[in-house]
Amino acid sequence: MSSETAELLRQRMAVLEPSSVVIEDESHRHAGHAGAKEGGHYKITIVAAAFAGQNTVKRHQAVYAAAGDLMRGRIHALGIRAFSPDEV
């Protein structure tokens, strides 16, 4: 796993004040994919009170906003599972 990218992503999620963040690097599953050269493929599971009352689109938008410029270089693809604490 690109521990540097995963750690940067984890740090960026702090703005959402998560109670839990799990990041998985799935880049090895996309070897040969054109985007694999330009950025990694990651999956994030995040639990935050900030997601309460929000639909999936709003939750994903919040995660992408928090990731910021990582999405334009270090991360090519990001699978998101976002929950409020009462959903887990």
Which of 31, 25, 33 shows the shortest CA–CA distance to 75? 25
Whether 61 has a pLDDT exceeding 90, the answer reads yes
Biggest distance spanned by C-alpha atoms of the chain: 39
- Stated length of the chain: 88
pTM: 0.86
- The CA–CA distances, whole Å, from 53 to 3, 72, 83, 86 equal 32, 29, 10, 11
Task: Tell me the sheet residues that pair with 18.
Answer: 48
pLDDT digits (tens, 9 = 90+) for 1-20: 468 899 999 999 999 999 99
Structure tokens at 61: 């938008």
Q: What does the pLDDT read at residue 1?
A: 41
pLDDT digits (tens, 9 = 90+) for 10-51: 999 999 999 999 999 887 665 665 545 566 889 999 999 999
Average pLDDT over residues 51-71: 97
| CA 19/CA 14 separation, integer angstroms | 10
